[in-house]
Amino acid sequence: MNTYGAFLKKLIHFTNIKLSTLADVVDYDTSYISKWCNKDKLPAAKASSAVNKSLADTFAAEILSQNELQVFLNKFKIEEPVTDALLPDVIYRMLSAAYKDSYDSAHDPVRTGMAGADRVLIWQPDIANFFTQELPRLITDRHSDTQILCTMDTAALLRELHLESFSAAEAPQFEVQVRIGLNIDSVKKYPQDIWQLYYFINKYNFVNFDFYSNESMGRTNLLVVRDLIAVLCSVDENERITVASIITDLSIVNALYQKILPLFSSNYLAVHSADAGEILYNGYRTEFYAHSSFQMFVTKGFEFLLPPSMNEKLKNAAKEQGFDERTEKVVQQISIALHELFENGQIDFFLLKSRLISYISDGTIYYADVPYKMSADEIREHMDHVLGLVEKNPNIHFHIIDDDYLQDSDHLLRMSIYSNRRKIFLKNIEKISSSGGPKFYTIMNDQLITAVADVFDALPESEHVYNYDYEKLKQFIARYGNMIERMISMNHRQD
């Protein structure tokens, strides 16, 4: 039973405080408050004290403002004498006690079904169900930060288990850090593995994945969730799991974790989950654009080929939204670097048809992580500027992907990919302005960078991909210009 959720809901009903008000107070999304009340979810353990303190202060202030202290004491069966000054502390202690009860219940091995759960899986359906259903549920149902090590090859696991079989999971309120192996040589041979890896991190975009070349991991074939569970696998010559031995004795689980941790050396790090500081403030992104050949897979908005008139507006937007001076400086630096790039560079833009239509209708872009909603006139100016630049620079090409033919594109095509053939980074746009999950990924392995570039080189020849140079772009606008204008005008009226 979620004692915490029931008590929190009772307080909300008594005070009639809106969930949105509580969300503002604790700096969480409203959906989290709702989950705490109704779905056996809890605030992260490390944040629980601060959350409960803020909630208690808010509830107490509302009760006192309504002159209902005595009614509250009667309703909640509090017999001790309570003054106005003591009320916040009383509610805090009650919230904390309810939290502890729910937390202990969630981690009780008898109640969670983990007691005596050591078992050996030998049938393929049981193995697949464990990895795709049971394990994700065990992880996301936890109420604390989670660290996972896996020495097996991610690409081989996805080939065997199939991505669509993995259960969809709601983003938890705590961090999930996964360090996992990857056979780089195998990925080079099978380009489809790259897309499967991309889909995988998009599906679980709240997880911080770090991928390591598993050449130093031998055939340990271990997956360990610290303080929870370990899985020792037997794998055949085709990297197929034939036996999975599940261990729940925490002394053994954590001993295995410590034993394999040294295998995840930074020397073998191939793909790294990064925060905004790593990308913005150490010169990574400005240096990234100091090259001449690019592949840009943009999944939301279109922040490139902007007219010069946007530079100052974006700088002001960064300032108005509370970004620090470093971000404003990065906005300026990127604008300068991109101006020269657009004049002379070789650029292939890959855009999803549905997201391009959304941009024309909505006008939202993310420029150096600063969200900006363009007006109808700014969208028109942007389109005119794009056409002018493509006319001057024949090395700019657009490749429009008809994502109507792609399965679950809303969840599997979230992150934008930026490549200059020497460096590649991914932007987790949904997490740029929210907590939980990585903001970026950087690919650090040269062989993997080359393999990704090769995938994008081949993409224009794929089915349902339509390629545009200047002449074809001009013809497209001539043909569909009126429809585009109607979409923009609707956007202008709504503004």
CATH entry 3.30.870.10 includes domain 114-272: yes
Q: Say what percent of the chain tops pLDDT 70.
A: 95
DSSP label of 116: T
What dotted CATH number matches 3-107? 1.10.260
pLDDT digits (tens, 9 = 90+) for 395-429: 999 999 998 888 767 788 999 999 999 999 999 98
Q: What is the rounded distance in angstroms from the CA atom of residue 12 to the CA atom of residue 59?
A: 8
Numbered ranges of CATH 3.30.870.10 in the chain: 114-272
pTM of the prediction?
0.77
3-class SS string, 40-67: CCCCCHHHHHHHHHHHHHHHHHHHHHCC
Q: What is the rounded distance in angstroms from the CA atom of residue 127 to the CA atom of residue 241?
A: 8
Contacts of 251 by beta carbon, 8 Å cutoff, 6+ apart: none
Check: CB of residue 15 under 8 Å from CB of residue 63.
yes
Numbered ranges of CATH 1.10.260 in the chain: 3-107
Q: What is the rounded distance in angstroms from the CA atom of residue 133 to the CA atom of residue 154?
A: 17
pLDDT digits (tens, 9 = 90+) for 234-278: 999 888 999 999 999 999 999 999 999 999 999 999 999 988 777
Name which of 9-18, 115-124, 183-192, 381-390 the model is least confident about. Answer: 115-124
**CA dihedral angle for residue 83, residue 85, residue 89, residue 95, rounded to 10 degrees:** 70
pLDDT digits (tens, 9 = 90+) for 27-86: 888 888 888 888 678 888 778 888 999 999 999 999 999 999 999 988 888 888 888 999
Average pLDDT of the chain, as a whole number: 88
